[in-house]
Amino acid sequence: MNVSYLAHVSGKVQGVYFRASSQQVAIEHGLSGYARNLTDGGVEVLMCGELRNVEKMIKWLEIGSPDSEVEQVDAKQVPLQEHHFFAIS
């Protein structure tokens, strides 16, 4: 079943290749969506794809990239969205 989840990741997640790493992991799991910096210092990640792969991505977000320090991940299901790739902005 395809789903879409939106996650807000807080902590030291900007300037540490978090978005680029998120993109790589998402592509490996066959997900589409995006990762973008937020003005509050967090990162917003939209993940669209098979539920089991989105769940794997959320688990990865809780750990993050090697130089990141994830404090919290708030993820919630949102209406299914159609994206054809995983973008960073």
Our answer to whether residue 19 is catalytic in this structure is yes
Pull the structure tokens for residue 36.
Answer: 């973008």
Q: Write down the catalytic residue from 2, 19, 52, 53.
A: 19
Q: Write down the catalytic residue from 2, 36, 37, 53.
A: 37
Our answer to whether residue 37 is catalytic in this structure is yes
Indicate the pairing of strand 32-37 with strand 86-88: parallel
DSSP structure class, residue 58:
H
How far is residue 38's CA from residue 19's CA, in Å, rounded to a whole number?
A: 11
Catalytic residues: 19, 37
